[in-house]
């Protein structure tokens, strides 16, 4: 299948880019190997996206984006992109090459919007109990811990926001934060502190997640100042310690920073001509849906301009 524009990633940035490229009359394919909407789709309530004064679920918001993109003609394909090839325009009849699990795709321009995934702590027990007590998604797994005591690792926006959702189900939450103070927005901290069934362990590091091999029974934490260790009985652990960009497949082709984020200029150009990038996987320091959709629109506009300027005579 040949496309004018191939968008790799179906989160807010990619879906926004698809809306713009389709409205510009470009045949557009959106390739997503996971859930349409990306990480945003798993957020229970989004309160800072303009136009929704009462908030909106991440799933509903991204479903609306996908519906809008398809309305204008975007094709959403469930497939994983393995590699892309740097073929100078107009080599291969003016198309770049994209290799997926299902075969080879050709496109005149590529927009990379692969987003991020939760970062692992790599502590003892994390890998062993993943999916059996260790989770990175409150909306996915919160229901399974009804009336139980759990731990949330990380007191940034994600940790506190997901903790607020978990309080619908759990009996008690033990928050563990490596830094001396939480880094979440004041409005979120004010909300969580209104609850009597939350406890904070600041300036503490998670050392291990422990159990009987089948389920979790406790975590062990260590105070960064005193080196004192403590056991806390919990039946589940939700980890929110940052994100990692899904850019490993670009190794050796697209320039990235030391953390794997794609380096782009103000027009969302990568170091490869005709390949653009947008959203949370780029070096933009603000990781918000609003900034993702903005950069997605900018990438689409510049991709259309690049295709137009490089049409074969």
Tell me: the pLDDT tens digits for 163-184? 999 999 999 999 999 999 999 9
140 is catalytic: yes
Which of these is catalytic: 4, 22, 141, 284? 141
CA 214 and chain centroid, separation = 29
Which of these is catalytic: 2, 79, 86, 137? 137
Q: Which residues of 62-74 are buried (b: 16+ CB within 10 A; e: fewer)?
A: beebbeebbeeeb
> Alpha-carbon distance 203 to 178, whole Å?
5
Homologous superfamily of 120-239: FAD/NAD(P)-binding domain (3.50.50.60)
Mean residue pLDDT across the chain: 93
257 is catalytic: no
155 is catalytic: no
Asked if residue 313 has pLDDT above 50, the reply is: no
Which of these is catalytic: 93, 140, 248, 265? 140
Q: What is the pLDDT of residue 93?
A: 63
Residues 109 and 274: beta-carbon distance below 8 Å: yes
Q: What is the pLDDT of residue 140?
A: 82
CATH 3.50.50.60 residue window(s) in the chain? 2-117+243-309, 120-239
Best CA proximity match to 114, nearest among 4, 239, 244, 23: 244
User: What CATH number is given for 2-117+243-309 in this structure?
Assistant: 3.50.50.60
Which SS3 state, helix, strand or coil, does residue 266 take?
Answer: coil
Cβ-based neighbour number of residue 160 at 10 Å: 25
What letter does residue 269 receive in the DSSP assignment? B
Q: How confident is the model at residue 88 (pLDDT cuts 50, 70, 90)?
A: low
* E strand or H helix that includes residue 201: strand 198-202
Best CA proximity match to 39, nearest among 8, 68, 78, 9: 9
Tell me: the pLDDT tens digits for 237-257? 999 998 899 999 999 999 999
């Amino acid at each position: 299948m040949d496309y004018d524009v191939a968008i790799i990633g179906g989160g807010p940035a990619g879906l926004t880019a698809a809306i713009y490229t389709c409205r510009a009359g470009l045949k557009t394919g959106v390739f997503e190997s996971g859930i349409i909407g990306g990480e945003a789709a798993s957020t229970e309530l989004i309160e800072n996206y303009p136009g929704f004064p009462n908030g909106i679920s991440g799933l509903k918001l991204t479903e609306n984006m996908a519906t809008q993109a398809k309305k204008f003609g975007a094709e959403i394909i469930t497939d994983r992109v393995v590699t892309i090839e740097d073929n100078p325009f107009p080599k291969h009849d003016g198309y770049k090459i994209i290799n997926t699990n299902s075969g080879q795709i050709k496109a005149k321009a590529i927009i990379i919007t692969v987003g991020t995934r939760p970062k692992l702590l790599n502590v003892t027990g994390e890998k062993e109990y993943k999916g059996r007590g260790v989770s990175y998604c409150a909306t996915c797994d919160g229901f399974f811990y009804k009336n139980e005591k759990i731990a949330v690792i990380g007191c940034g926006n994600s940790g506190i926001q997901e903790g607020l959702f978990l309080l619908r189900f759990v009996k008690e939450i033990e928050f563990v934060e490596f830094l001396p103070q939480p880094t979440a927005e004041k409005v979120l901290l004010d909300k969580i502190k209104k609850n009597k069934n939350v406890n904070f362990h600041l300036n503490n590091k998670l050392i291990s997640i422990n159990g009987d091999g089948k389920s979790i029974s406790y975590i062990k934490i260590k105070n960064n100042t005193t080196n004192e260790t403590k056991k806390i009985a919990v039946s589940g652990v939700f980890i929110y310690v940052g994100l990692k960009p899904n850019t490993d497949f670009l190794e050796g082709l697209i320039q990235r920073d030391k953390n794997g984020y794609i380096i782009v200029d103000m027009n969302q150009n990568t170091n490869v001509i005709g390949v653009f990038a947008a959203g949370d996987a780029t070096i933009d320091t603000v990781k918000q849906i609003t900034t993702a959709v903005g950069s997605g629109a900018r990438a689409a506009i510049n991709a259309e301009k690049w295709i137009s300027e490089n049409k074969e005579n």
